[in-house]
Amino acid sequence: MIFENRFKGRRAVVTGGASGIGAAIADRLTAEGAEVTIWDLAPGGRQIDVTDHSAVAEAMAEDAPDILICSAGITGPNVTTWDYPVEDWLKVYNLNVHGLFYCNRAAAPLMAAKGHGRIINMASVAGKEGNPNAPAYSSSKAAVIGLTKSLGKELATAGVTVNCVAPAAVATAIFDQMTEDHIAFMKSKIPMNRFGTVNEIAAMVCWLASDEASFTTGCCFDASGGRATY
């Protein structure tokens, strides 16, 4: 269900918004009246490298979003912790944690100065449970949850809410980064016995971005088909 003009007059930035979950979120925000800017190195967005903190700070000041969705991320290879390549570990953390931190850090004071804002970070059920053979991805998403809770408390009286969404596996192109065995493992853990859809995640994110979620901050919302246990 699309809520017409729910975000009329609001400006949104969606990182990683050129594909997958980010694209679905950007499309829904647009359909509900927001002025959306996509930050993505892939074609279709503003070419912002979120791992460059100076570029992020400059672009955030220019775009001045009322809503920030941090959806950019990578999985890294599926190998055991002791065999995990250091260079891949650093790549995952540089985007999933550092890039997200740079975006949150740049947006928070701008939103606080206006007395209104919504920050929604994309976490994962892997950040709660820790998937085997995905140590960098799992731990990076745990970091996202922790950062979200900290920032949410810091901004609690500023009119700015900060929340994250923790999906179970959602069928997107990110599966191309995973082995078939790992994909099968993730599906086997979901009681609904199916993967989530990008539209289901977008619906939850857009509720968190709306005025209806004004008393909700520092929280992690599951979209896991029954997988999450806490």
Q: Are the CB atoms for 77 and 21 separated by under 8 Å? A: no
Residue type at 186 in one-letter notation:
M
- From the candidates 84, 93, 137, 230, which is the catalytic residue? 137
Cα 182 to Cα 79, 80, 177, 189: the distances in Å are: 10, 12, 10, 11
137 is catalytic: yes
What distance in Å separates the CA atoms of residue 127 and residue 143, rounded to the nearest whole number?
8
C-alpha span between 220 and 216 (Å, rounded) = 10
Per-residue 3-state assignment (H helix, E strand, C coil) for 91-126:
HHHHHHHHHHHHHHHHHHHHHHHHCCEEEEEECCCH
- Residues with active-site annotation: 137
